[in-house]
Amino acid sequence: MSHILAIDQGTTSSRAILFDADLKIAATAQEEFTQHYPASGWVEHAPSDLWASTAATCRAALEKANVRPADIAGIGITNQRETTLVWDRATGQPIHNAIVWQDRRTSAMCQRLKADGFERQVTETTGLLLDPYFSGTKLAWLLDNVDGARARAEAGELLFGTVDSWLIWNLTGGARHVTDATNAARTMLYDIRRGAWSDDMCRMLNVPMAMLPQVLDCAADFGTTRADLFGREIPILGVAGDQQAATLGQACFEPGMMKSTYGTGCFALLNTGATPVSSENRLLTTIAYQLDGKPTFALEGSIFIAGAVVQWLRDGLKIIREAKETQPLAESADPGQDVVMVPAFTGLGAPYWNAECRGAIFGLRRNSGPAELARAALESVGYQTRDLLEAMHADWSATGATGGAATLRVDGGMSASDYAMQFLSDILGAQVDRPQVLETTAMGAAWLAGQRAGIYPGQQGFADTWALQRRFEPGMDAATRDAKYAAWKRAVAAAQVF
């Protein structure tokens, strides 16, 4: 048994990646699925799509690599976080579509809870903010709006889960209703300091605790797959939410280490060690990973729009056909123009958390064109990352910690852009390291399962395998850096006033 099968269930597609005994990729399969938008600000997935695409890509990856199920030592799962599902305990049938993490339908509920004075308790207990982003209010909405759901939940007939729980339930034929600590920590129902579901949070949202899954370590025995799925039973040995899995895949095991993943959005995590750090800058306190019953905590900052700004250039403005065209276009921009783009298409994430803010462009001139817009779009990701890192450093240094992140490890699709990563290094005034393997999310899930199965090394041995593809060094002088960042801050302030 020399391979690990990693399931990477994302927001727009499901992927299966097969890793060999040397943690090298043997095969990959991917399948996109439909996004549902039943109302403005609402985003849903069909639960059957999540499950069917996952099962199909797993089979396809095995077939591509010509690997037998008997060769698979275990399965690791990483998933889109906060997306919320409820299904029947007896039949496994969902009561409604999955409500996706991007969904904003519970904004009014969050505002009411804030007005009632609950946000401080939410933050102290869960490390999160009162925001529709998280699972708890989505679950409450389902119980309140699906006919008969609350009565069935209170009778013990319904189960709640994030996507990992839903996949495990189906993989095991309904034998296991479990999750891991990183996914539990994103629900707004979990006490991250006690390591248990919170009576107070469940009472606040009127959620029956019997619905909640058992919480396990990230590397644990999550059950075995049905024999008919892949030809034999395969143990599920590792689970972590996507951003936490990327933190593991980047081998950010030491306090002060930091990674930033650039996909549709951007998510930066700073390892803070065994102690949860409370943020004074509206960052999230969360669990980075939990092994051997011991949680390691992190500060997390979320940017809603990163790679999505390039998609907007392509699909909205239609000034590019492919993402790779942004680099030469940006390089050709007029150096005398300082166009600043605030891509707040769905509001601003950390450290602002302004759901009502919308996008804006400043500094346009008569001869501004596609090149200047492309450059401003790429640079907006660097500016937003600096916002996150400055907030993180302020919270981290407030604990008395020294030696924080002098280097940022990056991954995700947008990290392939040399222009974006060089500007990121310039505006941060820090090294930016891009690894040889950009599939860090799937690798983190694979490592969890593989080390549990005994075919991959422990933390130090795995960290030693991390390999640099390219290091970006800051080349911008301090005066230019400060002037450009000050212009960004003025633009953000103006966008929030509009």
Is 82 annotated to bind a ligand? Reply is yes
Q: What is the predicted pLDDT for the residue at 400?
A: 59
Q: What is the predicted pLDDT for the residue at 360?
A: 92
- Assessment of whether the complete model's pTM goes beyond 0.75: yes
Is 307 annotated to bind a ligand? Reply is yes
Is 30 annotated to bind a ligand? Reply is no
Is 15 annotated to bind a ligand? Reply is yes
Nearest-angstrom CA–CA distance, 106 and 103: 8
C-beta separation of 266 from 384 below 8 A: yes
Residue 52 lies in a domain: yes
Is 133 annotated to bind a ligand? Reply is yes
Q: What is the predicted pLDDT for the residue at 54?
A: 96
- Domain containing 190 equals 3-243
Q: What is the predicted pLDDT for the residue at 399?
A: 64
Residue 449 lies in a domain: no
Is 397 annotated to bind a ligand? Reply is no
Residue 128 lies in a domain: yes
Residue 390 lies in a domain: no
Name every residue whose Cβ is closer than 8 Å to that of residue 175 and which is 6 or more positions away in sequence.
Answer: 223
Nearest-angstrom CA–CA distance, 323 and 325: 5
Q: What is the predicted pLDDT for the residue at 401?
A: 54
Q: What is the predicted pLDDT for the residue at 406?
A: 63
Is 13 annotated to bind a ligand? Reply is yes
Is 413 annotated to bind a ligand? Reply is yes
* Phi, psi for residue 32 in degrees, rounded to 5: -80, 160
Q: In angstroms, what CA-CA distances link 169 with 96, 187, 222, 320, 397?
A: 17, 18, 10, 42, 42
Is 243 annotated to bind a ligand? Reply is yes
User: With the C-alpha atoms ordered 84, 300, 210, 180, is the resulting torsion angle positive or negative?
Assistant: positive
At 186, which CATH number?
3.30.420.40
Residue 254 lies in a domain: no
Measured in whole angstroms, how far is the alpha carbon of residue 492 from the centre of its chain?
24
Is 12 annotated to bind a ligand? Reply is yes
Instruction: Split the chain (498 residues) into runs of 10 and give each run's mean pLDDT.
Output: 92 92 92 89 93 96 89 95 96 96 89 93 94 94 96 96 98 97 97 96 96 97 94 95 94 90 87 90 93 95 83 86 87 91 84 83 91 93 92 78 67 88 93 90 96 94 92 94 94 88
Is 11 annotated to bind a ligand? Reply is yes
Counting the structural domains of the chain, the total is 1
Q: What is the 3-state secondary structure (H, E, C) of the chain?
A: CCEEEEEEECCCEEEEEEECCCCCEEEEEEEECCCECCCCCCCEECHHHHHHHHHHHHHHHHHHHCCCHHHEEEEEEEECCCCEEEEECCCCCECCCEECCCCCCCHHHHHHHHHCCCHHHHHHHHCCCCCCCCHHHHHHHHHHHCCCHHHHHHCCCEEEECHHHHHHHHHCCCCCCEEEHHHHCCCCCEECCCCEECHHHHHHHCCCHHHCCEEECCECCCCECCHHHHCCCCEEEEEEEHHHHHHHHCCCCCCCCEEEEECCCEEEEEEEECCCCCCCCCCEEEEEEEECCEEEEEEEEEECCCHHHHHHHHHHCCCCCCHHHHHHHHHCCCCCCCCEEECCECEECCCCCECCCCCEEECCCCCCCHHHHHHHHHHHHHHHHHHHHHHHHHHHHHCCCCCCCCEEEEECHHHHCHHHHHHHHHHHCCEEEEECCCCHHHHHHHHHHHHHHCCCCCHHHHHHHCCEEEEECCCCCHHHHHHHHHHHHHHHHHHHHC
Residue 340 lies in a domain: no
